[in-house]
Amino acid sequence: MRIEDKFAQNEAIFNNKFNSINNDKKNDEKTESIGFSDVLKNYIDETNGKISESNSVTNGFIKGEDVNIDEVMVKGQEASLSLQFLTQTRDKLLEGYNQLSKMQL
């Protein structure tokens, strides 16, 4: 599987989560409003969890624990792709902010 394919999968998962949160919001008026910042914070937390999990699996492999090299590589790639997606999201948000700040009112 190519890295671009995995990135596209992560992007689709992110969009699905965002859409499902919006659908849940529409279905139940009494719930608190969930905005883009909440979704972004949740994804940042998930990315941090994946990086921590990757580090712990890697450390376990280095220490000689019963960890398969395949698992180490997969966890590392998952963390890397999540971080790449998060970085690209940040870059797009900053680009949009810069464009808005340059607009004349």
Residue 19 CB contacts under 8 Å (≥ 6 apart), including other chains: none
pLDDT tens readout for residues 23-53: 655 555 545 677 888 888 999 999 999 999 9
For the chain, the structural domain boundaries read 3-8+35-100
pLDDT at 54: 96
pLDDT tens readout for residues 55-93: 999 999 999 999 999 999 999 999 999 999 999 999 999
Please tell me the chain's helix, strand, coil percentages from 3-state DSSP, rounded to the nearest 5: 85, 0, 15
Q: Are 46 and 14 in contact (CB under 8 A)?
A: no
- How far, CA to CA in Å, does 96 sit from each of 35, 37, 55, 73? 17, 15, 33, 34
Q: What is the gyration radius of the CA atoms in the chain, in angstroms?
A: 18
Q: Given the structure tokens 């450390």, which residue do they identify?
A: 59
C-alpha count within 13 angstroms, C-beta hemisphere, residue 1: 10
pTM of this prediction exceeds 0.95: no
